[in-house]
Amino acid sequence: MPSYPSLVVLAALPVFALADLSNRAAAPTFVAPAFSPFSQSSNYVGQSNGSFPKTDVVPGKVFDRFIQIWMENTDFSVANSTPEFASLTKQGILLEQSYSLTHPSEPNYIASMSGELWGAMSDDLFAIPENITTFADILEDGGANNKSISWCCYQENMPTSNFLGMNFSSIDYVTPGAANYTFYERKHNPCIIHNSIANNTARVNNTRNFNQLASDLNASSIPQWVFTTPNIVNDGHDTDPNFMGKWLEYFLIPLLNDTRFNDNRTLILLTFDENETATVGNKVFSVLLGGVIPAKLRGTVDSTYYTHYSAISTAQSNWRLKSLGRQDVNKTMSNVYAFVANQTGYKNVDISPDQIPLNNATGTYPGPLNSDLYTPFWAPDDISVIGAGGQGVLVLPGLNTSMTRSTLAQPVNLTSEGLSNPWSNLPNPGGASTSTGSGNSKGAAVPLSANSYAPVFAAILAVGTLFV
């Protein structure tokens, strides 16, 4: 197996943090984007194209609906001392050892869907090929239940379903009279980064904006698995914890009290993509909420070590689903939330504080999304491994299962050879939009087949690239 050094660039970490938080210094006062979460608004541009179709509920061992809400770039101690966040911990279980995976933002969102960071070290345009299994595939496969579980990614200011552009600017409702503001960012949308979703016209309505969320709430058709990203001010990226707190009062608090969103079989994870201070451990505020939390556990603290991969393994354990065969089967990184594990029979790994990985380290490591240390996408190391759901690995057609990490050649430097990364092109499925209104598509829509790795790699080697 080739040796891939991990060169930790600690000196660069504050630069990432400052660049990502550059708009926070002048955080405005919160303004509600709609009358309520149940109301559509012209601030969201695209109106609802109809509610999400209702499907039969596939019961889980512990919960029947799992909703994630991701906020941005805040240290654990800061969020935990912000009144609105602190108040929510009294209604749920505070996960005091919950960690992000890396810096900056986008790799964490990618990992939440396909179970790997893939060498990503930036918030650049990435489009992961169709034969890489995503959690959407896991849900639709159904695992031991053999019944598809409904799912959706709600993106607050995304203009239309399945919008593929890098970002979208719309009327600045927070500061009337100002220029249009970029409220939507592709880098915070894990569904659309993966071509098996973005290129699949059958899934075109599974990535929806908040006008469609309002429609789905009113129709009582919220899916069973939900990933929710507020816009760039409401998630705190361009604002501050006080602004986020006011958004929680406007958005989450009413929904917690509405059974169309939160019934007694609903689990809600409120978490952050990463912390703010990149030079310290990447611990993030995470709290489990929802009607499924037993009264005796509300207001309690869980000290088990978790990462973003735990959200994947917890859903797998609950619904007896197959695994990605990626970091979701790395037992150190993918403990199941304890109150769920205690009911499903899953045995977690006890990770002492001195064993917690340094997930704050933005290192230089190889992968298909790293142009300086490029490798092809790889197959799971062991497709026979049993995951948290007690099932095997789901492998999509077209994946070469013999191309595991141990078989890869040394990584190559695309940048030094003047070659572009083959996975930095926007997909262009039939009928899907790559730019609308003020959106920025940033790149040609040049789809690549699932078997593109070998020709690209061969071309690189032909020009005599130096291995690093």
Contact (CB, 8 A) for 333 and 307: yes
Q: What would the two tokens of residue 26 be? A: 């002048």
Q: Are 461 and 427 in contact (CB under 8 A)?
A: no
Is the dihedral angle over the CA atoms 234, 237, 243, 245 positive or is it negative? positive
Q: Respond yes or no: is residue 372 known to be catalytic.
A: no
Q: Using CB atoms within 10 A of its CB, is residue 166 exposed (0-12), middle (13-18) or buried (19+)?
A: buried
Give how far the C-alpha of residue 345 lies from the chain's centroid of Cα atoms, to the nearest Å: 26
User: Containing H/E element for 227?
Assistant: strand 225-229
The secondary element (H helix, E strand) that includes residue 215 is: helix 210-218
CA angle 94, 95, 98 (to 5 degrees): 150
- Please identify which residue in the block is written with the tokens 């020709």: 455
- Alpha carbons 166 and 30: distance in angstroms, whole number: 25
283 phi, psi to nearest 5 deg: -80, 135
Residue in 135, 131, 188, 134 with CA at minimum distance from that of residue 157: 188
- Strand duo 207-208 + 300-302: pairing: unpaired
> What are the CA-CA distances from residue 31 to residues 45, 228, 246, 388 (Å)?
17, 19, 9, 42
Q: 155 forms bridges with which residues in the sheet?
A: 229
From the list 141, 238, 240, 302, the catalytic residue is 238
- Amino acid identity of residue 467, one-letter, is F
Residues with catalytic function: 238
